[in-house]
Chain A
Amino acid sequence: MKRYSTMLLLLLITAFGWMGCKKEDIPIDEDGLLITTRAECYVSNFELLGSDFQTVRTKNAVIDTVACTVNVTVFFGTDLKNLFPQFTLVTDAKLDPKITGFTDFSDLANPRTYTVISGNRQVRKTYKVIVTVQPR
Chain B
Amino acid sequence: MNAKFLGYILWFFPLCLSMVACKDDKYTVPQPKNELGNDCIKRTLGPNVAGLKIEFAYAMALPATKGKLVSAQVEASIQGDAATYLENKSYYTNGSGEDVGIPIGDPSVNEGAVTKVTFTKDTNAVTLRYYYVIPPAAKGKEVKFTFSAKSSNGETVSYAMGPYTISNMDMVLDLPVKNADACYISIADMAVYNETDAAKNAAKIDLVYLYRSISGISFNHALVSPAADTTYLPGVVLPTGVNRDTKIRKTWNLRDQHLARLQYGIYIDDVDFQQLDMKGSPDYAINLKSEAGAWVETADGKYRAYIYMNKVDDGKKSATISMKRYTLK
Q: Do A and B come from one complex?
A: yes
Q: Please, how many angstroms separate the alpha-carbon atoms of A7 and B4 in the complex?
A: 9
A16 to chain B, nearest CB (A): 14
Query: Would you list which residues of chain A between 1 and 17 have a CB under 8 Å from chain B?
Result: 2-3, 5-7, 9-10
When the two chains form their complex, are residues B7 and A2 in contact, meaning their CB atoms are under 8 A apart? yes
When the two chains form their complex, are residues A6 and B4 in contact, meaning their CB atoms are under 8 A apart? yes
Contact with A along B242-269 (1 / 0, CB 8 A): 0000000111110000000000000000
When the two chains form their complex, are residues A52 and B252 in contact, meaning their CB atoms are under 8 A apart? yes
A126 within 8 A of B: no
Residues of A within 8 A of B253 (CB): 52-53
B282 within 8 A of A: yes
Q: Please, how many angstroms separate the alpha-carbon atoms of A2 and B249 in the complex?
A: 77
Q: Please, how many angstroms separate the alpha-carbon atoms of A78 and B3 in the complex?
A: 77
Counting chain B residues whose Cβ lies within 8 A of the other chain, the interface size class is 20 to 34
Contact with B along A42-69 (1 / 0, CB 8 A): 0000000011111000000000000000
A3 contact from B3, B214, B232, B281, Cβ within 8 A = B3
- Known contacts A6-B10, A9-B7; A75/B218 CB under 8 A: yes
B6 within 8 A of A: yes
Residues of A within 8 A of B232 (CB): 77
B286 within 8 A of A: yes
Residues of A within 8 A of B3 (CB): 3, 6-7
Chain B, Cβ-Cβ closest to A6: B7
A82 within 8 A of B: yes
Contact with B along A63-104 (1 / 0, CB 8 A): 000000000000111010110000000000000000000001
Interface SS majority for chain A: loop
Contact with B along A29-51 (1 / 0, CB 8 A): 00000000000000000000011
When the two chains form their complex, are residues B7 and A76 in contact, meaning their CB atoms are under 8 A apart? no
B219 within 8 A of A: yes
When the two chains form their complex, are residues B217 and A82 in contact, meaning their CB atoms are under 8 A apart? no
A136 within 8 A of B: yes
Contact with A along B1-40 (1 / 0, CB 8 A): 0011011001000000000000000000000000000000
Residues of B within 8 A of A76 (CB): 217-219, 286
- Known contacts A6-B10, A76-B218; A52/B250 CB under 8 A: yes
When the two chains form their complex, are residues B214 and A136 in contact, meaning their CB atoms are under 8 A apart? yes
20 residue pairs bridging A and B, Cβ less than 8 Å apart: A2-B4, A6-B3, A6-B6, A9-B10, A10-B6, A52-B250, A52-B252, A52-B253, A75-B218, A76-B219, A76-B286, A77-B217, A77-B286, A77-B287, A79-B249, A79-B281, A81-B282, A134-B217, A136-B214, A136-B216
Which A residues fall within an 8 A CB radius of B? 2-3, 5-7, 9-10, 50-54, 75-77, 79, 81-82, 104, 134-136
Nearest 3 pairs of A and B residues by beta carbon: A6-B7, A52-B252, A76-B217
